[in-house]
Amino acid sequence: DVKVTQSSRYLVKRTGEKVFLECVQDMDHENMFWYRQDPGLGLRLIYFSYDVKMKEKGDIPEGYSVSREKKERFSLILESASTNQTSMYLCASGGVSTQETQYFGPGTRLLVL
């Protein structure tokens, strides 16, 4: 079974703090994704990566950066957390073929105070 893990299920941070969310997949997938999930808005893509050290902005990249130094690991960084970044963050990985699904991690619920 494909496994996608995220470093934390719940996280509480203060405004201005630097926040790291890590995601690891064990299926040698080329593509990895970071989404933000908010009620009524579905999943919105923050960033995705199609190879090591390669990244592309998604729909809502402002206030976020990412790092992919190894194929299996994709990190999301909030340089200076703000209250409007309180949300559920989902990581996913998948292959390059269009028919392939994405495999999701359990999510990190982040609260910024």
Q: Which amino acid is at 73?
A: R
Task: Count Cβ atoms within 10 A of the Cβ of residue 101 and give its class: 0-12 exposed, 13-18 middle, 19 or more buried.
Answer: exposed
Q: State in angstroms the smallest separation of the CB of 42 from other proteins.
A: 4
What is the three-class DSSP state of 102? coil
Indicate the residue among 85 and 103 with the shorter CB distance to other proteins: 103
The residues of the shown chain that bind other proteins, judged by CB under 8 A, are: 4, 31, 33, 35, 40-45, 48, 50, 56, 58, 90, 96, 98-99, 101-102, 104-107
Indicate the residue among 84 and 98 with the shorter CB distance to other proteins: 98
